[in-house]
Structure 1
């Protein structure tokens, strides 16, 4: 049969994954990056407006304050997601402080990130992380 011999002699397919990788941008656009920013920038990256997300101020981690975060219950954005208002419940050192949602303060003043605050352990000087 003619068609079977042609199928065997066809050149191999090019590496499609490599070709698609070339079409993608070298770095993600700012809206898709998981970089810290003001509260509204962090929340506006998610399709739900951040509702249900845990967010914390980076300074809490830098000061060794662990297991603290806000659970976002509502958000309203202005100015392409750089400004607005957000409400949530505060969890401080593992215990819920807020009985009902309250306005989240310091949203433009401090840097925020998704997740729960974790203490940053200082590396002893002169030692590498692998030792």
Structure 2
């Protein structure tokens, strides 16, 4: 009896893992199921509403340890099946709005984008890596 009760308690977690195993690898998934960073038109065209109302950020902001910065997308215009296009929105930098009016989002094809606000990466101390190895002076 106890093993069955234990299986029932852990059921939803097991179901989620089973479903995840049935999906193809992230690199092989169709664009609508992919969550990998890409150009902004590709990220926004995956969503059913064209990305309107979504928060997006440049991946390099997270790499530069900039937190809570993002664009709130207000309008999109796609071409070539969502691989190219334009987007407009409002920029929030470190949690504060930069301007009240809508503006065109620049760098949509130049940089990698991801959904949600930026979060600093946990790469460790970048200053120690940049200075190189330390030598002992004898």
Same fold (TM over 0.5): yes
What is the aligned length?
Answer: 103
* Structure 2, unpaired ranges of 5+: 1-14, 126-138
CA distance in 1, matches of 2:77, 2:124: 40
Alpha-carbon shift at residue 29 of structure 1 (Å): 1.5
CA distance in 1, matches of 2:106, 2:49: 20
* Structure 1, unpaired ranges of 5+: 1-16, 125-131
| Residue number in structure 2 paired with 1:67 | 68
CA distance in 2, matches of 1:117, 1:32: 21
| Residue number in structure 2 paired with 1:26 | 24
Greater C-alpha Rg: 1
Return the TM-score normalized by structure 2.
0.69
3-state secondary structure, aligned to 2:41: helix
Kept in 1, the 8 Å contact 2:90–2:97? The answer is yes
CA RMSD of aligned residues (A): 1.7
CA distance in 2, matches of 1:29, 1:77: 18
* 1:34-88 deviation line (CA, Å, top 9, x unaligned): 1110000000000100000000000000001111000000001001101111000
Q: Which has the higher helix share?
A: 2
CA distance in 1, matches of 2:92, 2:113: 15
3-state secondary structure, aligned to 1:87: strand
Return the TM-score normalized by structure 1.
0.73
CA distance in 1, matches of 2:95, 2:110: 24
| Residue number in structure 1 paired with 2:41 | 40
Matches within 5 A, 1:83-94: 83-94=84-95
